[in-house]
A and B are shown apart, each in its own frame.
Chain A
């Protein structure tokens, strides 16, 4: 049974880069038609999709965040990562990783990590 686990610093200073990793266990990150996603949720607010990566390395991003986001995959470690640069307090949120399984990403998020809280503050 595939599981996802986010990890990374819980506190990031303004203007710096937020870096998170999602570790995939119970299955190979590079098998099947899987797309690996990042989603975030500010406290008490709704869900915002950040972007995704296919195991080939192709990516898609939320247009509102595209200029600040990098998503990469490390198949040797069965992990994928998020970098969000030039962060501000508005980037404070719970960050989730999640999986989509389906051709051309035409599928819903079937597996989620438990989420990790990231606070942007000096």
Chain B
């Protein structure tokens, strides 16, 4: 089974900062990776799919990159609404695997 490992587990940052979250796969997954944002008490919300494609309606300050085994989610300038938990997710024809999550908190 493919394992997804996110880092860091917790990230402290300030409004206006540029932040990067990393997701590593235990084996190559090509570009079959998504990123989600989840706020307390809410379902996750899709931000990025196919490693770098921005979901419709998601602000352009969010971007994704990577292929193979290493991927990143970057928020170019943090806004107050961005403090949340972020999950990466690998998907393929047979299964789905989530990373353990990265909690983005206010410094």
Contacts and interface: CB of A to CB of B under 8 A. Distances in A.
B49 A47 contact: no
A11 B22 CA distance: 37
A71 to B, nearest CB: 13
A37 B96 CA distance: 10
B89 to A, nearest CB: 7
A47 B45 CA distance: 13
Interface in B38-78: 42-46, 49-50, 55
A60 interface: yes
B94 A109 contact: no
B93 A105 contact: yes
Helix, strand, loop or mixed for chain B's interface? loop
Given A100-B91, A104-B93, A109 B98 contact: no
A94 to B, nearest CB: 9
A42 to B, nearest CB: 12
A80 interface: no
A98 B46 CA distance: 11
Interface string A94-106: 0010101000111
A26 interface: no
Interface of B: 1, 32, 34, 36, 42-46, 49-50, 55, 87, 89, 91-101
Given A46-B100, A107-B91, A108-B55, 18 more contacts: A37-B96, A47-B44, A47-B98, A62-B95, A62-B96, A63-B1, A104-B93, A105-B91, A105-B93, A106-B32, A106-B91, A106-B92, A106-B93, A108-B34, A108-B46, A108-B50, A109-B36, A114-B42
